[in-house]
Amino acid sequence: MPTKQMTRPKDEIRAAYYDQLGVQFGKKVRSRIHWIIRETKGSQILDIGCSGGLVPILLGREGKQVVGIDVSPEAITESRNALEKEARSVKELIQFEEENLMTFSTSQRFDTVLMTEVLEHIGEPERFVQKACSFLKPGGRLVVTVPFGVNDYADHKRTYYLRHLLEQLTPYGTIDRLERMDKWLGVIVTLHEEKQPIRSMTNQEIDWLETAFEAIERMHLTEIVRLKNQQKKWEQKQLKQQVNEQEYAELSSEHERLLQQVTEQEETITLLAQQYQLVLERYEGALVSNLDVLEANTQWKLKYRSLANSKLGKIAVRYWKFRRKLKQRRARR
């Protein structure tokens, strides 16, 4: 059954440097990158594992000649695309090549070799350190950074504290400086003339390591407190959401009830409108009939007046008056 191929995670150091992954994370990344820039001495620089080319371009802006190599073709493409946006004077100083360090070859020797966030990806870092140091001028400088402590990304092959770095670096040079930058460890090494035995940690380095552990522990404790407060806020929001959902359910029920009431009222209004229309039609019919009667009555009145004003009418009126008086006399007898 075919399995999904694991792809190499994209290094977004450039995006982080320019705050595109968050302001706080950007500050941490810039702190580390600027430390690397400050510790890069001389004019001839080799950056091993240059990723998206951020450090070589920043060094090129300072007039340093930089060769950046990376095993990833995507990283080299990103580096070259970024370099195209730079001034011509910077482009002339920087060269990016898709190369594996263990097969990389050049007659050029460098004042500083950078291996930043590289060793944790390597299963046998001792060979990498030896090959990297072979490109240094006598007395040249090796700048190394690694994640300090547990940093379990999929492509990390080991966890670094201080002892492993001393074992890998002290045969080839003198440790000039140790630096902890948040959860990263930086080491500055000056090249020996000849390879020497591995040395143990000094008391000064043990003190430094304990201080670094305390700082990391306090950082973790601060993060735990922050996460607890965040969890408490989340629980309060969840409780508020439950209350809101209950209120919403009640309002929805009331809304349904009111809709039902409105529907019933609309049905009543429709029925009344129908009844009113029927009554109105009957009233209009009766009104038309009354108008016909009134019109007929008016015509009869006109005819009566015409008849009463005629000679025959006047004789008839006198006759009926005489008959009424005669009837009254008889009634009195």
CA distance 79 to 302: 116
Closest CA to 80 of 108, 51, 101: 51
Tokens describing residue 59: 């060094």
Residue type, 228: K
- Cβ neighbours for 81, distance < 8 A, ≥ 6 positions apart: none
Tens-binned pLDDT, residue by residue, of the chain (333 aa): 444 444 455 668 888 899 898 998 889 899 999 999 999 999 999 999 999 999 999 999 999 999 999 999 999 999 999 999 999 999 999 999 999 999 999 999 999 999 998 998 888 999 999 999 999 999 999 999 999 877 766 777 788 888 888 999 999 999 999 998 888 999 999 999 888 998 888 899 888 888 888 888 888 888 889 999 999 999 999 999 999 999 999 998 899 999 899 989 989 888 888 888 888 888 777 777 777 777 777 777 777 777 767 777 777 777 777 777 777 877 777
> 156 in helix, strand or coil?
coil
The pLDDT of residue 280 is 80
pLDDT at 3: 44
What's the CA gap between 153 and 133, in Å, rounded?
Answer: 27
Inter-helix orientation angle 203-309/311-332, to 10°: 90
End-to-end distance of the chain based on CA atoms, in angstroms? Answer: 139
Running DSSP on this structure, what letter comes out for residue 148? Answer: B
Distance CA 272, CA 288 (A): 24
> What angle (nearest 5°) sits at the alpha carbon of residue 264, between those of residues 261 and 268?
135
Question: Which residue, 145, 151, 213, is CA-closest to 179?
Answer: 145
* Phi and psi torsions of 150, nearest 5°: -65, 125
Helix, strand, or coil (residue 323): helix
Which pair of structure tokens corresponds to residue 172?
């080839």
Beginning with the edge strand found earlier in the chain, give each strand of the sheet holding 110-116 in spatial order: 94-98, 65-70, 44-48, 110-116, 136-147, 184-191, 173-181
- Cα–Cα distance for residue pair 301/307, rounded to 1 Å: 10
The per-residue DSSP string of 217-284 comes to HHHHHHHHHHHHHHHHHHHHHHHHHHHHHHHHHHHHHHHHHHHHHHHHHHHHHHHHHHHHHHHHHHHH
Q: Are 152 and 201 in contact (CB under 8 A)?
A: no
